């Protein structure tokens, strides 16, 4: 970063500090991961200089011959990776992608069925403070209070009673696989559009570690970071009959020009995910999550639904006498980044909820093994148990540092 060091050393200093924080700490935030250097190089390329409103072969600016090739390659690779009929690679992020889906397929005030936020859903799946809840008439399903799992009989019951025009399957804090075919069957009964938001599990699907909704669902969105290990951005995949409406909703409906450097970085990430080693990565992510969950349970922690099928888990920290916000802070002190999380039927406030959400996508990218994941679970347990002992916490911080040295962030 020689140019940045001359132009703006203050920003360079902050980037250096953040890089050090990432290198010497353990990242368990389920929505975060580490991109490859190739992805980062694409994001910092000359493509950031170009403006490209429109689509391949149909731009509103000149000089887009190369950009057309970049976007076409990203599209081709995404289709190969997910087996989708059509894909729009231009969405700038997950929520705008979801907004475009609504904009393309339903009207303000139409009824939509989605998973409730504090039961594992996402803000853009109908929360009252979000644009989705403000513009559309959402009704929501929950997880079963005893099992912590989505009850498809309840989903069907609500769908038959409410007759939504769209059913959403997807989550930001749910640790079990979704029954895509069951959702599709329910939607077909009432003639509803099926929309899957796979932002959290796209990499696991790409790596063929869990089932894909693409063969069954009308529309599928995902961010391109998280388990997919790409740049910050999103895509929308759909059946061909929705292609024109989706494209029109993204541009000119929701966005102006795409971020061409991010399109290139998405193409790089798709290429990386098409390699055989990515399948190994996806399986390892799940193995690490299941090992961490099992170790936490063995140490007396309560995990919502009793375990995980994917990369994440939500842990009810109140079992250990600590609310989620305090647990997040304690773990941060020893070098473990997590995110506080509501739990189903939480009696605490959203900003100070009962749980924390943990994920293994980032540590698996660093090369953490099942044994390492169990060690991390042990550290989490001891940090919470010894939270009042500053000397003990300092010792735990040292253990974290040693674990990170075993697995350098960038090789």
- In 282-338 the beta strands, taken as DSSP E runs, fall at 302-303, 312-316, 336-337
- The CA radius of gyration of the chain, in Å to the nearest whole number, is 22
Smallest CA-to-CA distance from 30 within 200, 199, 197 is with: 200
Q: How confident is the model at residue 410 (pLDDT cuts 50, 70, 90)?
A: confident
Contact 207, 77 (CB under 8 A): no
Question: CA torsion angle for 177, 179, 183, 188 (degrees, to 10)?
Answer: 150
Contact 104, 130 (CB under 8 A): no
Contact 288, 310 (CB under 8 A): no
Give the Cβ contact number of residue 264 at 10 Å.
24
- In 3-135 the beta strands, taken as DSSP E runs, fall at 26-27, 54-55, 58-59, 86-88, 111-115
Q: For the chain, list the domains and their CATH numbers.
A: 40-273 (3.40.640.10), 278-406 (3.90.1150.10)
244-262 tens-digit pLDDT: 999 999 999 999 999 999 9
Q: Is the peptide bond before 252 cis (omega within 30 degrees of 0)?
A: yes
Q: What 3-state DSSP class applies to 183?
A: helix
- Mean pLDDT along residues 28-56: 97
pLDDT(233) > 90: yes
Smallest CA-to-CA distance from 269 within 92, 33, 39, 75 is with: 39
Contact 360, 368 (CB under 8 A): yes
Number of H helices, E strands in the chain: 16, 15
- Mean pLDDT along residues 9-25: 96
- pTM above threshold 0.75: yes
Smallest CA-to-CA distance from 372 within 336, 338, 339, 340 is with: 336
Cα 191 to Cα 160: distance, rounded to the nearest angstrom: 11
pLDDT(411) > 60: no
73-123 tens-digit pLDDT: 999 999 999 999 999 999 999 999 999 999 999 999 999 999 999 999 999
Cα 376 to Cα 365: distance, rounded to the nearest angstrom: 15
CA angle 7–52–67, rounded 5-degree value: 85
Give the Cβ contact number of residue 376 at 10 Å.
25
Contact 358, 28 (CB under 8 A): yes
Average pLDDT, the chain: 97
206-224 tens-digit pLDDT: 999 999 999 999 999 999 9
Instruction: Give the residue numbers annotated as catalytic, written as ranges.
Output: 51, 53, 197, 223, 226, 232
Question: CA torsion angle for 384, 386, 392, 394 (degrees, to 10)?
Answer: 30
Locate all alpha helices (DSSP H) within 108-225, ordered by sequence.
131-135, 152-162, 180-190, 202-206
The 3-class SS string of 332-351 reads HHCCEECEEECCCCCCCCCC
> Residue 158's pLDDT is what?
98
């Amino acid at each position: 970063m020689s140019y940045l060091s001359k132009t703006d050393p203050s920003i360079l200093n902050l980037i250096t500090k953040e890089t050090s924080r990432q290198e010497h700490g353990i990242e368990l935030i389920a929505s975060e991961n580490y991109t490859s250097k190739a992805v980062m190089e694409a994001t910092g390329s000359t493509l950031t200089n170009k403006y490209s409103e429109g689509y391949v072969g149909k731009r509103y600016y000149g000089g887009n011959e190369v950009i057309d090739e970049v976007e076409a390659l990203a599209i081709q690779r995404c289709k190969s990776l997910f087996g989708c009929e059509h894909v729009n690679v231009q969405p700038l992020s997950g929520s705008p992608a979801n907004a475009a889906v609504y904009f393309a397929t339903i009207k303000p005030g139409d009824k939509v069925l989605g998973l409730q936020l504090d039961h594992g859903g996402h803000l853009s799946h109908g929360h009252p403070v979000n644009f989705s809840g403000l513009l559309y008439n959402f009704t929501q399903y929950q997880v079963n209070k005893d099992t912590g799992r989505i009850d498809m009989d309840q989903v069907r019951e609500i769908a038959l009673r409410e007759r939504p025009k769209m059913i959403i399957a997807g989550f930001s804090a749910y640790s079990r696989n979704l029954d895509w075919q069951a959702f599709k069957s329910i939607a077909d009964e009432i003639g509803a559009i099926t929309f899957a938001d796979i932002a959290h599990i796209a990499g696991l699907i790409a790596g063929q570690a869990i089932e894909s909704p693409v063969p069954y669902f009308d529309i599928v969105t995902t961010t391109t970071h998280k388990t997919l290990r790409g740049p910050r951005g999103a895509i929308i995949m759909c059946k061909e009959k929705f292609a024109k409406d989706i494209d029109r909703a993204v541009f000119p409906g929701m966005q102006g020009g795409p971020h061409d450097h991010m399109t290139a970085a998405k193409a790089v990430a798709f290429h990386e995910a098409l390699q055989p080693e990515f399948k190994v990565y996806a399986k390892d992510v799940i193995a690490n999550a299941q090992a961490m969950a099992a170790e936490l349970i063995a140490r007396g922690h309560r995990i919502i639904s009793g375990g995980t099928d994917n990369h994440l888990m939500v842990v009810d920290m109140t079992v250990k006498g600590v609310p989620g916000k305090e647990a997040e802070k304690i773990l941060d002190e020893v070098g473990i980044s997590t995110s506080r999380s509501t739990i189903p039927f939480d009696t605490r406030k959203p900003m100070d909820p009962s749980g924390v959400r943990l994920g293994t996508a980032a540590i698996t990218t660093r090369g953490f093994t099942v044994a390492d994941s169990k060690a991390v679970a042990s550290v989490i347990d001891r940090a919470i148990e010894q939270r009042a002992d500053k000397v003990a916490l300092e010792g735990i911080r040292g253990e974290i540092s040693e674990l990170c040295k075993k697995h350098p962030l960038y090789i």
